[in-house]
């Protein structure tokens, strides 16, 4: 498998079957490589995509498209299309198709569109010229509608020390653009009106570990096999961690030729490289191992001042973007155009600790033993732990309570993480304006937005998986050629089916993945209990970028918008070692938001919408 040719930048817009949609077509046509019509002849699907990552079929009045990674052939999809009677009926035919893709359908002009439940394929919608349209990129719709950046949504991404809370994490950061929740599908009728309905819900969590591990093993096998084929050359991260190591051994099963990439830290306490060497020695002969000494690569945050095309939202990709480009270039020299990556493994196979809140009501004896073990391991205060376990508030009431604390700049100190979401500890740089704006968004969500599942544990597990999916979207759209099988919906669901108290243990590391890979990955690699840490490299990168960071602090867009205190922002960037250790990811989110605002300012027209010659061949 050589380097995959690019057909412009990958993007698409789905249009309803009405004349009002022609306004969007006229503005997008010059940037599009392909236009696929409805049965009526009006445009349905417009954009640019690589032919080998698109399955588009037609049967009478039916048009089906699977865009992304999938096993179904065009011939198979054509047979399936022949059995579709309604647009929503396309969902039944997509079940059992391995991979990660957008599902799009037009049946007699009625449109159905959805992404991935994991969030690894996103959708947005907006009203353009009197009709609702759907796109895979928020920036596309922001440009079409003239939607500017929403300061309140930016505030939500820098105000909490932990990750952005649900449901603000998935919201569009542009006015006039709505993010479609991953578990929802959009229907467009022939008048151009959009309606959202759920297409996915969490499966029951009933399987014991052994049975659930068998399901995960099958799902991961299929997720890797749909990508890596016999005789192809595939890159693969081999960090030494359990996630990437599992993918490497599964890829070796397919008969693909592997070219593995291992980052070797200069930290003598980091065991990752040693485990990676052990794994490489046990992979089939013919595997090419490429070690990359971090000291020989560009430091973290290299190219920060260079800017670039912004993503749909602030992301921390600048952290290792230069390193990833270098690794991709070397892999391409060895014939590997795409590579397997273990991103999402931690999120998928490790349930959140808040499942203990659910367990204590159904199996109190088991729950209390585990609570005692986690409390000893993580030093939970006894009183705060008891109060968290006794808290019976539903999602809306809990979220409203957190919004009130955030608005006052307070947080429950020392409490274990057993709520419906992260603690929402205010960051030291968030201004009163930022805190109040975030709290207002949370209050509105508390009244209108249901949780992702009925219980805290399942809700938080889905939430953390969708965080991984957002990262997958970022790397897919910036053309890094990364494939993340742990973010496939089938893998996502296989993990969710397992009893969470058996998938997370204070006495063992990743028991679900270890059980799934037993007999495929050698036991010594599955019995590892440690995990590498790249914080030293991040601090070194921050130090190397101090001249840029000092200039950015003086001209901060966040400070100018009233969202960040300039003095606290300066301390976080120029002396990150002086902020609490728990603020490390928050400092990175702060920097990502500043970089993103600068990039949006410098790139009013998205690169993927610039006109270019249509040299990519006919519509598939």
Q: What is the pLDDT of residues 191-202, one digit of tens each?
A: 999 999 999 999
Share of the chain above pLDDT 90, in %: 77
Looking at residues 11-28, what average pLDDT do you find?
Answer: 96
Could you report the per-residue pLDDT of 421-430, keeping only the tens digit for each?
998 999 999 9
132, 303 Cβ separation under 8 angstroms: no
Within 13 A of 454's CA, how many CA atoms are on the CB side? 5
237, 341 Cβ separation under 8 angstroms: yes
Question: Residue 329: is it exposed, middle or buried by C-beta count within 10 angstroms (0-12/13-18/19+)?
Answer: exposed
Q: Which of 52-66, 119-133, 399-413, 601-615 has the lowest mean pLDDT?
A: 601-615
Structure tokens at 19: 């004349």
Split at pLDDT 50, 70, 90, the class of 573 is very high
* Distance from C-alpha of 350 to C-alpha of 550, rounded to nearest angstrom: 39
**What confidence score (pLDDT) does residue 538 get?**
84
More reliable by pLDDT, 439 or 83: 439
Structure tokens at 553: 């602090």
Q: What angle do CA 503, 504, 508 make, to 5 degrees?
A: 105
Q: What angle do CA 35, 37, 41 make, to 5 degrees?
A: 130
Q: Are strands 110-114 and 184-188 parallel, antiparallel or unpaired?
A: antiparallel
Question: Residue 495: is it exposed, middle or buried by C-beta count within 10 angstroms (0-12/13-18/19+)?
Answer: buried
Looking at residues 551-564, what average pLDDT do you find?
Answer: 98
């Amino acid at each position: 498998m050589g380097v995959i040719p690019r057909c412009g930048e990958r993007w698409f817009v789905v249009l309803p079957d009405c004349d009002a949609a022609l306004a969007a077509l006229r503005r997008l046509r010059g940037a599009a490589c392909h236009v696929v019509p409805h049965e009526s002849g009006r445009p349905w699907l417009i954009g640019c995509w690589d032919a080998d990552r698109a399955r588009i079929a037609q049967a009478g009045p039916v048009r089906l498209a699977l865009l992304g990674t999938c096993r179904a052939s065009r011939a198979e999809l054509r047979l399936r299309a022949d059995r579709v009677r309604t647009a929503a009926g396309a969902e039944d035919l997509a079940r059992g198709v391995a991979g990660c893709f957008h599902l799009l359908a037009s049946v007699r002009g009625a449109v159905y569109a959805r992404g991935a439940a994991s969030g690894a394929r996103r959708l947005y919608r907006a009203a353009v010229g009197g009709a609702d349209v759907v796109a895979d990129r928020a920036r596309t719709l922001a440009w079409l509608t003239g939607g500017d950046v929403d300061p309140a949504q930016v505030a939500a991404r820098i105000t909490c020390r932990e990750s952005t809370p649900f449901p603000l994490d998935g919201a569009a950061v542009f006015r006039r653009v709505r993010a479609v929740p991953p578990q929802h599908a959009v229907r467009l009728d022939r008048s151009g009106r959009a309606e959202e309905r759920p297409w996915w819900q969490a499966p029951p969590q009933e399987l014991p570990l052994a049975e659930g591990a068998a399901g995960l093993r099958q799902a991961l096998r299929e997720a890797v096999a749909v990508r890596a084929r016999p005789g192809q050359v595939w890159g693969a991260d081999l960090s030494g961690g359990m996630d990437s190591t599992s993918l490497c051994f599964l890829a070796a099963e397919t008969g693909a030729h592997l070219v593995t990439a291992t980052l070797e830290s200069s930290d003598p306490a980091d065991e990752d490289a040693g485990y990676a060497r052990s794994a490489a020695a046990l992979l089939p002969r013919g595997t090419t191992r490429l070690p990359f000494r971090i000291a020989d690569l560009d430091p973290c945050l290299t190219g920060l001042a260079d800017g670039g095309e912004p993503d749909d939202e602030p992301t921390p990709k600048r952290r290792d973007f230069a390193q990833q480009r270098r690794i991709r270039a070397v892999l391409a020299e060895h014939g590997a155009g795409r590579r397997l990556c273990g991103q999402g493994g931690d999120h998928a196979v490790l349930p959140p600790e808040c499942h203990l809140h659910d367990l204590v009501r159904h199996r109190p004896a088991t729950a209390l033993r585990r609570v005692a073990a986690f409390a000893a391991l993580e030093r939970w205060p006894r009183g705060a732990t008891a109060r968290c376990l006794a808290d019976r508030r539903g999602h809306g009431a809990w979220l409203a309570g957190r919004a009130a604390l955030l608005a006052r700049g307070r947080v429950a100190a020392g409490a274990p993480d057993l709520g419906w979401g992260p603690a929402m500890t205010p960051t030291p740089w968030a201004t009163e304006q930022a805190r109040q704006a975030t709290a207002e968004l949370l209050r509105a969500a508390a009244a209108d937005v249901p949780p992702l599942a009925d219980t805290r544990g399942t809700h938080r597990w889905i939430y953390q998986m969708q965080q991984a999916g957002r990262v997958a979207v970022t790397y897919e759209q910036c053309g890094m050629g990364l494939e993340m099988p742990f973010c496939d919906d089938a893998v996502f669901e296989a993990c969710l089916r397992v009893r969470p108290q058996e998938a997370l243990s204070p006495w063992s590391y990743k028991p679900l993945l270890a059980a799934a890979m037993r007999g495929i990955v050698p036991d010594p690699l599955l019995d590892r209990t440690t995990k590498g840490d790249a914080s030293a490299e991040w601090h070194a990168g921050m130090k190397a970028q101090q001249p840029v960071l000092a200039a950015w602090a003086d001209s901060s867009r966040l400070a100018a918008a009233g969202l960040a205190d300039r003095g606290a922002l300066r301390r976080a960037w120029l002396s990150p070692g002086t902020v609490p250790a728990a603020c490390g990811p928050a400092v990175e989110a702060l920097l990502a938001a500043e970089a993103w605002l600068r990039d949006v300012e410098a790139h009013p027209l998205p690169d993927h919408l610039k006109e270019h010659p249509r040299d990519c061949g006919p519509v598939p």
